Amino acid sequence: MATITLEKTNVPVKLPEGLSEEKLLGFSPFNNWVATLTRSLSLQHTHPAHPFHADPYSLRAITIQSFDLFGRPPRQRLGFLKLVAEITNGAGASLPGAVFLRGPSVAILVVLVPDDGEGERYVVLTVQPRIPAGSLAFVELPAGMVDEGGTFVGAAAQEIKEELGLEIPASELRCLSDLVATTTVPTGGKIDGVGVEGDRKKEEGQDQSQDQGQADENLPLAMYPSPGGCDEHIPIFMYERRVPRETLKEWSGKLTGLRDEGEMITLKLIRMRDLWKEGARDAKCLAAVALWEGLRREGKI
């Protein structure tokens, strides 16, 4: 295995055969992961209340175990990366460091409201093979990866077009994850002049310094479906429109997806009130339900 050294951190990285330094350093998920982890590790030193302040951990080395390429030669690019990070402290204790890097994705809550005045909301789900889950008919919220150099909102609009056959301007999408930021009261913050979060934590005996350290990590405001092993994070977008009731019947059971890329998708329409049950296996569905209901209570949507 070849070994390179990361310029800013001086951390050695072992590369498997076939993976060049150029390809690795051109892979945004790897660069973003290193930058985020480096920042988080630095907080151990700057925050005295950090649980690891007395004996901080350091990133000692990275071993790339395997990788997958997307596309065809000569334009192949990194798609997935499996690595092990060696993170230890002065006492020799280590943190779990097995990591699967794939980068961010987007999920879209598409809500249809029949124009006959009944007011019942319907959600569009996809049913498709998900081999990692061992399923040929996995029910989930429409979702897709964000391409290199792409934007979250652009990826969301593209996925709606590809998976649902619905073309809408990206400007009409709302990011529920971003809207959460407008409802969050920082530690020690105030609502209408009253200290809410900070006062509550004082009453409960919680350490505000630790919360501040978590905020300083600058993690994306998105849902992490499996942070114990994967870097993937998913902001939840929403699009709502009124449609003729006949359209609902046309969409239910419709076949969609990019067939030449192996996407075999069937659409499923359900009542919004049943989303938590129909999508109980899908973290994106459950996150969408929680965000949608919470933001409605806050009057944000």
Residue 150 and residue 279 in one domain = yes
196 pLDDT exceeds 70?
Answer: no
Nearest to 165 by CA among 88, 50, 256: 256
In this prediction, residue 110 carries a pLDDT of 93
At which of 101, 133, 165 does a domain end? 101
162 — pLDDT class (breaks 50, 70, 90): confident
Which residues partner with 241 through β-bridges? 112
Residue 91 and residue 115 in one domain = no
Contact 124, 156 (CB under 8 A): no
111 pLDDT exceeds 90?
Answer: yes
Q: What is the mean pLDDT of residues 87-116?
A: 94
Q: Does residue 258 lie in a domain region? A: yes
Residue 147 and residue 172 in one domain = yes
Q: What's the number of domains the chain is made of?
A: 2
Residue 225 and residue 78 in one domain = no
Return the top range by mean pLDDT from 33-37, 124-128, 162-166. Answer: 33-37
How large a percentage of the chain has pLDDT more than 70? 86
Structure-model confidence comparison of residues 223 and 251, the more confident one: 223
The CATH number assigned to the domain holding 272 equals 3.90.79.10
The CATH number assigned to the domain holding 57 equals 3.30.565
What is the extent of the structural domain holding 265? 105-180+217-297
Residue 68 and residue 118 in one domain = no
Q: Does residue 128 lie in a domain region? A: yes
252 pLDDT exceeds 50?
Answer: yes
Residue 167 and residue 252 in one domain = yes
In this prediction, residue 179 carries a pLDDT of 94
Q: Does residue 202 lie in a domain region? A: no
211 pLDDT exceeds 70?
Answer: no
Residue 146 and residue 43 in one domain = no
Mean predicted lDDT score pLDDT of the chain: 85
Distances (CA, A) of 226 to 65, 130, 234, 237: 20, 16, 11, 19
Question: What pTM was computed for the model?
Answer: 0.84
Residue 49 and residue 80 in one domain = yes
In this prediction, residue 199 carries a pLDDT of 39
In this prediction, residue 284 carries a pLDDT of 97
190 — pLDDT class (breaks 50, 70, 90): very low
- CA atoms within 13 A of residue 298's CA, in its CB half-sphere: 16
Q: Does residue 195 lie in a domain region? A: no
60, amino acid identity: R
Nearest to 173 by CA among 263, 241, 101: 241
Residue 52 and residue 130 in one domain = no
